[in-house]
């Protein structure tokens, strides 16, 4: 094992949904650990670029809509042509739609499943084709507490994140012998765009915080350590695990 098993020096990491929130924080953490960062997203990533470059890491942005698998092959090809490698993939891009299950629309179901599950799988597949050739790679999926629990009013989100947990385990089983570690992080309740509605609802926010032993909403930076661990050689014998980073929610 390397002198510093958490070092990502010389590695190339693709992080989807890296323009804000959790994706931005993970991109920064991997950059601080030495990785070159390829940030993928629909909106401008100027702030992420400034943070990552400020940490001394190389950076490249790819603007792509992950609502379909159309950009998948090009993302891998552009990463390889830009930095000459692909060692780490973080499937963070995700969307959420809220409505009572009795009223939930097919459009909202399909949109969430496409981004959160379908594209994550096919981007993993495309990345793995390169990683298998080099005999190593790390794939980190961003799951959710709703990979374990039902939640309310987010049926397609719960289905997608439960499915992502299952795919994480399946890919870990299939690819462990090919040098690829596939694992996931399950964030708890974090201050992100996806939780704005919850945080602005006094009753829901109070109910959530009452169950979090840490007594606060998570800050995206709280996920950096777990991401670096799963992306680095420190986790070389870790396969198919889902690490909750949740302020103690699951332990309650």
User: DSSP 3-state assignment of 15?
Assistant: strand
Which CATH code of 3.40.50.720, 3.50.50.60, 3.30.360.10, 3.20.20.140 fits the domain covering 12-244? 3.40.50.720
Give the pLDDT mean for 221-228.
Answer: 98
Phi/psi at 195 (nearest 5 deg)? -105, 10
pLDDT of residue 193: 84
Q: From CA 198, how far away is CA 230, in angstroms rounded?
A: 29
Indicate the average pLDDT of the chain: 97
Confidence of residue 3 (pLDDT cuts 50, 70, 90): confident
233 closest CA partner among 172, 186, 166, 181: 181
* pLDDT attached to residue 194: 79
**Confidence band, pLDDT 50/70/90 cuts, at residue 1:** low
Say if pTM beats, i.e. exceeds, 0.95.
Answer: yes
Q: For residue range 114-145, what is the model confidence (pLDDT) as tens digits?
A: 999 999 999 999 999 999 999 999 999 999 99
Q: What are the residue boundaries of the structural domains of the chain, listed by start?
A: 12-244
Enumerate the H helices of 33-105 as residue ranges.
46-54, 72-83
Q: Of residues 157, 189, 237, 239, which has the active-site annotation?
A: 157
- Annotated catalytic, 157? yes
């Amino acid at each position: 094992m390397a002198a510093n098993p958490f070092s990502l020096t010389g590695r190339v990491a693709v992080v989807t949904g890296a323009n804000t929130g959790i994706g931005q924080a993970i991109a920064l953490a991997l950059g601080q650990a030495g990785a070159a960062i390829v940030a993928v997203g629909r909106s401008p990533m100027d702030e992420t670029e400034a943070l990552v470059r400020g940490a001394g890491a190389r950076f490249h942005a790819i603007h792509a809509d992950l609502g379909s698998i159309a950009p998948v092959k090009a993302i891998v090809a552009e990463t390889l042509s830009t930095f000459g490698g692909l060692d780490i993939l973080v499937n963070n891009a995700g969307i959420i739609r809220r409505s009572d299950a009795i009223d939930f629309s097919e459009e909202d179901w399909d949109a969430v499943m496409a981004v959160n599950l379908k594209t994550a799988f096919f981007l993993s597949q495309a990345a793995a084709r390169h990683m298998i050739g080099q005999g190593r790679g790390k794939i980190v999926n961003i799951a959710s507490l709703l990979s374990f629990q039902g939640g309310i009013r987010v049926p397609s989100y719960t289905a997608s994140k439960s499915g992502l947990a299952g795919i994480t385990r399946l890919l870990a089983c299939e690819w462990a012998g090919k040098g690829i570690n596939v694992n996931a992080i399950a964030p708890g309740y974090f201050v992100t765009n996806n939780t704005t509605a919850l945080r602005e609802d006094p009753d829901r926010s109070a109910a959530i915080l009452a169950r979090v032993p840490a007594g606060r909403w998570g800050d995206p930076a709280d996920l950096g350590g777990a991401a670096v661990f799963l992306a680095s050689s420190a986790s070389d014998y870790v396969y198919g695990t889902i690490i909750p980073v949740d302020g103690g929610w699951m332990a309650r």
